Structure 1
Amino acid sequence: MVPHLITALTGPINELEQRVLDSMPAIERWFRLEWMEHTPPFYTSVDIRNAGFKLAPVDTNLFPGGWNNLTKEMLPLAVQAAMAAIEKICPEARNLLIIPENHTRNTFYLANVVQLQRIFNMAGLNVRVGSISPEIKKPTLIELPNGDTVTLEPVVRTKRRLGLKDFDPCTILLNNDLSAGAPGILEDIHEQYLLPPLHAGWSVRRKSTHFKNYEEVAKRFGKMLGIDPWLINPMYSQCDEVDFAEDKGMDKLQTTVDALLTKVRRKYKEYGINEKPFVIVKANNGTYGMGIMTVRDAKELDAVNRKTKNKMAVIKDGQPVNDLIIQEGVLTQERVHEAVAEPVVYMMDRYVVGGFYRMHAERGVDENLNAPGASFVPLAFEHSTHMPQPGVRPGVSAPNRFYMYGVVGRLAMLAASYELEATNPDAEVYD
């Protein structure tokens, strides 16, 4: 079931929405067949940009925070999806341990942990929060500004299992993206379910691998729909051996940026688009909106100042950046309260469970919005029970627009499923 939300957008009419709505039965059947062959990631959030002439995912997160930004009305959907996900993995599950990020003082982030705890609790599980942070040496109660509380407890590792004192979970839910690598305490756990698996963490994962898989998904989906896959797919290139701190590899980066901008210009010309193309240069294994810059002309890289280079040189947990993805920039035509905005779609198992708009009053239509100063507007439910309305003119119906977001979000989730299969160290290899 897809939640039907009021968006703050009427937006430009586009044929893509019409084609998606006309093909709804075929699309749902296509997804159903895909999920018979592939396992969806346990939970996923996808950042989407709607340029009016194309609608594409620009980032896919396999350890999504921000669950606290979903409205109360979305909780039942999340609970149902959580039940379905847990039943598939461990039907007799009783205890679930959530392992959060180590930044224990971030109350916004901890509100997200509380929301996850609530969802799985309502799905019929005993849920506790176990920290792998060296700071947490005893059960620590933290009060949040909204009146909620969360208790972080130090994890206890025995030879084969991970838990808390007097708490033995069958399932461990990671809400920690492992940017600095998988700590030893999480390795070699064979008797419990670790979700998502360790190879979904940013120490292993690469955005270029994800978008290579997404390109394949977009081509197959585009063929079924009879559309140019570019309309739902941001082109990309990869560039390694770059060192912003030492000014190494900048020529190679400039050449890669120039080549991609040329390809984007060609597409804009083909579709009669008068916007100025741009690319986003970002860390290939980054998260938290760190290590990202917008480039409109390759020559701009000659003049990058020291502050920007320092910002690009390291990402979360002090990880150095040498490997970059250069991604076709997708404008956003979305606005909420006059601020530039982008939709973020949340999924659990194979279901869309909700979403919100990320908005940023100080950012432009061609800039990264996942930055300090961003705020979030939950997408509110419509009071009617309309399914997407096939007879309605494109661009005027919120349920139709949100259905389209959900389709693109699920395509990115499917790509993540391919990606995790391909990078699974335990997969059997057949010659």
Structure 2
Amino acid sequence: MVPHFITALTGPINELEQRIIDSTPAIERWFRLEWMEHTPPFYASIDLRNSGFKLAPVDTNLFPSGWNNLTEPMLPLAVQATMASIEKICPEARNLLIIPENHNRSPSYLASLAQLQRIFKMSGLNVRLGSISPDVKKPVEINLPTGQSVVLEPVVRTKRRLGVKHFDPCTILLNNDLSAGVPGILEELYEQYLLPPLHASWSMRRKSRHFQSYEEVAKRFGKMLGIDHWLIHPLFAKAEGLDFAQNTGMEALSAQVDALLTKIRRKYKEYGIKDKPFVMVKADNGTYGQGIMTVRDAKELPELLATAGEKLGFVHNGVSVHDVIVQEGVQTSERMHDAVAEPVVYTMDRYVVGGFYRMHPERGIDENLNAPGSSYVPLAFAHSAQMPQAGQHPGASAPNRFYMYGVIGRLAMLAASYELEATDPDAEVYD
């Protein structure tokens, strides 16, 4: 159940695409065997960047919003994937409670919640939205510009369970990344399934840990495919103990930036790439595209920090940043409506269920697109049974291009499962 987008796309011819298409049977078998050993995250969205010579994930979100950008043809895939996941987790499930973000009342986010509710209702579940915000003291109905409406209800906590008035769920789905910390009301819920688990929240999760897991996955996948895993993996480093307010620890950050740029230049030389390398400096616990800076030379850092350091020092909910990931920048060769764009892949359980293009008319090919002013172009699907088109030249077939995107998205999803297993505080450790 791997969907293929039908939106027309022109891009540079890519040897990697040909290798992936030629290896489809081996790839699908490899994924099947992996999922026999590992549990996929319940849902995720993965930001990809395609430079023409490299295709890699640059962020993996385990509390995805944006479901409203998925088109009608995508919904059957999302519903089937949801059914498959629920059957594994709680086959007798009847009620599902979604915990949304506390203070986000933007129409787009509320429309995303409405779409999630619709997907789960079509999967055969009763669904309610339970807010953990102290500001929600009674049910609040909010009408959306689309004509839909959502109802936010205050959660009710008993000794062992969480729900809303007259509604006792089997499963609780977090659509709140808990970046400000895990509230006590969500702890010690031993009688209900809590998805994703609390250690997936940004209060505990780190981007550097995720990409450490992704590097492991990419190496294994690259060995199986006979390719250099660098073609699908962004190099990265980590800088810790920074204080952007006091401007301390910046020497260590500069050293990491310089060392990583040196490694990238070496790979560019190996592949005959003439582009100027760059890195992205991101909050290691970052979210919502905040706290991100593009650096092309370590010598630029003092000036960049003077103008953007304050923004880099805080992320969503005013959480301060002291650790950053320095990530190899992957420029984008994608274009939609004359604006630079990047594909975003959505997954549910172990399946790719949809996606869209994020585009930004005011950003360049080497800049973060997840920023104010970005817009989204939904991607329609070819027939869901259609498989990659063998015999097509690389870049000539949209289904082939998007099959490739789905493969890389699933690698990031698999890396997230590795990550969550490794960071599970309740996992048994054997000597």
Show CA shifts across 1:28-58 (max 9, x none). Answer: 0000000000000000110000000000000
* Worse-matched range after superposition: 99-108 or 314-323: 99-108
**SS of the counterpart of 1:127?**
strand
Question: Which letter does structure 1 place at the counterpart of 2:364?
Answer: G
Shift of 1:105: 2.0
Question: Which letter does structure 2 place at the counterpart of 1:338?
Answer: D
Q: Which residue of 2 aligns with 1:229?
A: 229
Q: Which residue of 2 aligns with 1:195?
A: 195
Q: Which residue of 2 aligns with 1:154?
A: 154
Q: Which residue of 2 aligns with 1:183?
A: 183
Question: Which letter does structure 2 place at the counterpart of 1:14?
Answer: N
Q: 1:226-265 residue pairs with structure 2 within 5 A?
A: 226-265=226-265
Structure 1 position 354 matched with structure 2 position 354: yes
Q: Which residue of 1 aligns with 2:216?
A: 216
> For the structure 1 residues 124 and 7, does the alpha-carbon distance in structure 2 shift closer, same or farther, using more than 3 Å as the test?
same
Shift of 1:243: 1.2
CA separation in 2, counterparts of 1:383 and 1:422? 37
Q: Which residue of 1 aligns with 2:169?
A: 169
Q: Which runs of 5+ in 2 are unaligned?
A: none
CA separation in 2, counterparts of 1:114 and 1:335? 29
Shift of 1:23: 0.4
CA separation in 1, counterparts of 2:170 and 2:302? 54
Question: Which letter does structure 2 place at the counterpart of 1:23?
Answer: S
> For the structure 1 residues 335 and 143, does the alpha-carbon distance in structure 2 shift closer, same or farther, using more than 3 Å as the test?
same
**SS of the counterpart of 1:48?**
strand
Shift of 1:10: 1.9
> For the structure 1 residues 36 and 383, does the alpha-carbon distance in structure 2 shift closer, same or farther, using more than 3 Å as the test?
closer
> For the structure 1 residues 21 and 108, does the alpha-carbon distance in structure 2 shift closer, same or farther, using more than 3 Å as the test?
same
Q: 1:45-84 residue pairs with structure 2 within 5 A?
A: 45-84=45-84
Q: Which residue of 1 aligns with 2:416?
A: 416
Q: Given that residues 356 and 378 in structure 1 are in contact (C-alpha distance below 8 angstroms), is that contact kept between their aligned partners in structure 2? A: yes
Q: Given that residues 182 and 203 in structure 2 are in contact (C-alpha distance below 8 angstroms), is that contact kept between their aligned partners in structure 1? A: yes
Shift of 1:303: 1.1
Q: Given that residues 155 and 163 in structure 2 are in contact (C-alpha distance below 8 angstroms), is that contact kept between their aligned partners in structure 1? A: yes
Structure 1 position 344 matched with structure 2 position 327: no
CA separation in 2, counterparts of 1:178 and 1:251? 31
CA separation in 1, counterparts of 2:300 and 2:5? 40
Q: Given that residues 258 and 297 in structure 2 are in contact (C-alpha distance below 8 angstroms), is that contact kept between their aligned partners in structure 1? A: yes
**SS of the counterpart of 1:417?**
helix
Question: Which letter does structure 2 place at the counterpart of 1:333?
Answer: S
**SS of the counterpart of 2:93?**
coil
> For the structure 1 residues 305 and 259, does the alpha-carbon distance in structure 2 shift closer, same or farther, using more than 3 Å as the test?
closer
> For the structure 1 residues 380 and 124, does the alpha-carbon distance in structure 2 shift closer, same or farther, using more than 3 Å as the test?
same
**SS of the counterpart of 2:181?**
coil
Shift of 1:104: 3.9
**SS of the counterpart of 1:304?**
helix
Shift of 1:322: 0.4
CA separation in 2, counterparts of 1:42 and 1:300? 41
Question: Which letter does structure 1 place at the counterpart of 2:134?
Answer: P
Structure 1 position 286 matched with structure 2 position 279: no
Q: Which runs of 4+ in 1 moved over 2 A?
A: 304-307, 381-386
Shift of 1:385: 5.7
Structure 1 position 322 matched with structure 2 position 290: no
**SS of the counterpart of 1:268?**
helix
Q: Given that residues 96 and 170 in structure 2 are in contact (C-alpha distance below 8 angstroms), is that contact kept between their aligned partners in structure 1? A: yes
> For the structure 1 residues 305 and 350, does the alpha-carbon distance in structure 2 shift closer, same or farther, using more than 3 Å as the test?
closer
Q: Given that residues 340 and 360 in structure 1 are in contact (C-alpha distance below 8 angstroms), is that contact kept between their aligned partners in structure 2? A: yes
Q: Given that residues 235 and 328 in structure 1 are in contact (C-alpha distance below 8 angstroms), is that contact kept between their aligned partners in structure 2? A: yes
Show CA shifts across 1:231-267 (max 9, x none). Answer: 0000000000111111101111111100000000000
Q: Given that residues 202 and 286 in structure 1 are in contact (C-alpha distance below 8 angstroms), is that contact kept between their aligned partners in structure 2? A: yes
Structure 1 position 332 matched with structure 2 position 332: yes
Question: Which letter does structure 2 place at the counterpart of 1:11?
Answer: G
> For the structure 1 residues 428 and 305, does the alpha-carbon distance in structure 2 shift closer, same or farther, using more than 3 Å as the test?
closer
Shift of 1:145: 1.2
Q: Given that residues 3 and 384 in structure 2 are in contact (C-alpha distance below 8 angstroms), is that contact kept between their aligned partners in structure 1? A: no
Structure 1 position 143 matched with structure 2 position 143: yes
CA separation in 2, counterparts of 1:47 and 1:279? 16
Show CA shifts across 1:76-104 (max 9, x none). Answer: 00000000011100000000000000124
TM value normalised by structure 1: 0.99
Matched residue count? 431
CA separation in 1, counterparts of 2:269 and 2:249? 31
> For the structure 1 residues 8 and 196, does the alpha-carbon distance in structure 2 shift closer, same or farther, using more than 3 Å as the test?
same
Q: Given that residues 69 and 376 in structure 1 are in contact (C-alpha distance below 8 angstroms), is that contact kept between their aligned partners in structure 2? A: yes
Shift of 1:307: 4.1
* Worse-matched range after superposition: 103-112 or 171-180: 103-112
Shift of 1:181: 1.0
RMSD: 1.0
CA separation in 1, counterparts of 2:64 and 2:126? 21
Q: Which residue of 2 aligns with 1:277?
A: 277
CA separation in 1, counterparts of 2:287 and 2:171? 25
Shift of 1:306: 4.0
Show CA shifts across 1:109-129 (max 9, x none). Answer: 111111000000000000000
CA separation in 2, counterparts of 1:52 and 1:10? 11
Question: Which letter does structure 1 place at the counterpart of 2:229?
Answer: P
Q: Which residue of 1 aligns with 2:428?
A: 428
CA separation in 2, counterparts of 1:407 and 1:150? 34
Q: Given that residues 8 and 336 in structure 1 are in contact (C-alpha distance below 8 angstroms), is that contact kept between their aligned partners in structure 2? A: no
Question: Which letter does structure 1 place at the counterpart of 2:56?
Answer: A
> For the structure 1 residues 416 and 383, does the alpha-carbon distance in structure 2 shift closer, same or farther, using more than 3 Å as the test?
closer
**SS of the counterpart of 2:420?**
helix
Q: Given that residues 2 and 384 in structure 2 are in contact (C-alpha distance below 8 angstroms), is that contact kept between their aligned partners in structure 1? A: no
Q: Which runs of 5+ in 1 are unaligned?
A: none
